[in-house]
Every structure is written in C-alpha cells, then in structure tokens.
Amino acid sequence: MNGSLTANEELLAALAAGLAQSPPCEIAVCVPAPYLAQIQSLKSKHAALSVVDVGAQDVSAHASGAYTGEASAAMLKELGCRYVIIGHSERRQYHAETDALVAEKARAALAAGITPIVCVGETLTEREAGRTEEVVKRQLAAVIHANGHCISEIVVAYEPVWAIGTGKTASPEEAQAVHAVLRAQLKAATDQSARIKILYGGSMNAANAATLLAQPDIDGGLIGGASLKAPDFLKIIAAAPV
C-alpha cells in the first residue's frame, strides 16, 4: 500500500529513462487499484514503458454483486491488467485468506484472461519446524485442484514470510530447494509445466538479485520495497535473464 499520483509519476518516469538504455526482461508493475488508470496513462506518455505490463495487488473471488469494496477480475481486465497478485502472505495473514479462497481468486482471474501470480510461503515457525515443503505444497495444491487444465497459465511466487520486509533473505541454495519442490509439483500436475514461471519474493534487492536469479529454478522476482526505488529496480531488471 504505497504510492501517490506524484510519486507514481516520478517512479515511472525514472523507470522509463532507465529502460530506454537497456534491453529489458519481462517486467510488470502491480499497483494499488486506485492507480491502475494513472499507470496506463503514464505508459502512453512514456514510449519506453510499452514493455512494462500492469497488474493489480488483489482481486475478488466474485464476479459482481453485493461485495462492497471489492474489485472483480472483469474490472481489472477493463483497466488493462495483465496480472494480479493472488494470496500474498499479507493477505493470508491480515485478511485470513485461506488456501481455498486463494484458489477461487486464481480461478476468477483466469476466467477473465488475467494471469494470477499465486504466492506461497512458510512462516518462520513453520520453517523451524521443518514444515516448509509441506506448507508450500499444500498452498499450491489447492490452486492446482481448483484450476485443473488451466494451471499452466499461472505464475507462482515463493515468498518465505520470514524474509518479507525483514531484510532477511533465503540463501540462494535455500530458495532454489523450495523452487525445485514447486517445479516438481507443477510438473506432476501438467505436461505444460515448462511454461510456468516461478518467482522468488523474499526481499530480493539490487545486491542479491543476480545470485538468486542464477539458480536453475528461479525464473524471476516478485519485488517488494526495492521496486519503489527506480535505481534499485533497474539494477534487478538488468540482473534478470532475458
């Protein structure tokens, strides 16, 4: 929950300047819903931002109706969203989102032609109890079960809860181990698993991005605080495999 009209314009202008100077990888910015229209306007203003897709940070599991304050997948699609973050750890923690609800939100996004970025990850307590694999597989299994043959259309983000906003980061080896588990689970679920990107989302920053992205099963990053600083975000983009 960051941003303002002025701050957004400054950030996107700085990104545009940086992207004009280097070949980009796949990039998306997922912004609070009130700013989606502004970001589309800024994309029209800066030609270099044509390579940047737009996403939202959450979506309703419902198509329409008496769900005050919710934003449906159809609404997000109309505002030009290609992606939406589903089941972020903060949504699970602060809004009590269950695995089943996350799966329903993923289904709603897919039905509208939006790619869900499905977040999975364990808490520090779960990691210390040796339950990391159990937790992430359970969270992903709910989405696989609810979405069947469409599962190859999702993006998965592994975000160890203990490494979000804490400055702590899973070592490249720790992150790779969990990504490998998720890759195997997806491979068992669909013969199109090679299409599914798995992102690392635990405090990836300009200093550690290259090492993390060099791991065989880490396809990209779900960037938090570092994405609010254009120089840092651009360094991460430069470190990503094209």
User: pLDDT tens, 208-224?
Assistant: 999 999 999 999 999 99
128: number of CA atoms within 13 Å, CB side?
5
Q: What is the mean pLDDT of residues 121-144?
A: 96
In this structure, the number of other CB atoms found within 10 A of the CB of residue 214 comes to 12
**Residue 80: is its pLDDT beyond 90?**
yes
pLDDT digits (tens, 9 = 90+) for 88-131: 999 999 999 999 999 999 999 999 999 999 999 999 899 999 99
Query: What pLDDT is recorded for position 165?
Result: 72
The C-alpha atoms of residue 120 and residue 140 are separated, in whole angstroms, by 7
Looking at 97, 122, 159, 179, which residue is catalytic? 159
The fold for domain 5-239 equals TIM Barrel (3.20.20)
What are residue 220's DSSP bridge partners? 199
Confidence of residue 140 (pLDDT cuts 50, 70, 90): very high
Q: Where are the domains of the chain?
A: 5-239
Decide: 44 and 77 in contact? Cβ < 8 Å.
Answer: no
88 assigned to active site? yes
Let me know: does 51 contact 24? Beta carbons within 8 Å. yes
- Contact, 114 vs 147, CB < 8 A? no
Tell me whether residue 159 is one of the annotated catalytic residues.
yes
Establish whether 167 is an annotated binding residue. Answer: no
CA 169 to each of CA 13, 118, 130, 182: distance values in angstroms, whole numbers, following the listed order: 29, 20, 18, 18
* Distance of alpha carbon 106 from alpha carbon 163, whole angstroms: 24
From the candidates 88, 90, 122, 153, give the one annotated as an active-site residue: 88
Is position 224 annotated in a ligand binding site?
Answer: yes
Q: How far is CA 87 from CA 9, 22, 46, 91, 169, in A?
A: 28, 32, 31, 6, 20
User: Is 203 labeled as ligand-binding?
Assistant: yes
Q: Would the pLDDT of 242 be above 80?
A: no
- Does 4 count as an annotated binding residue? no
Tens of pLDDT along 174-233?
999 999 999 999 999 999 999 999 999 988 999 999 999 999 999 999 999 999 999 999
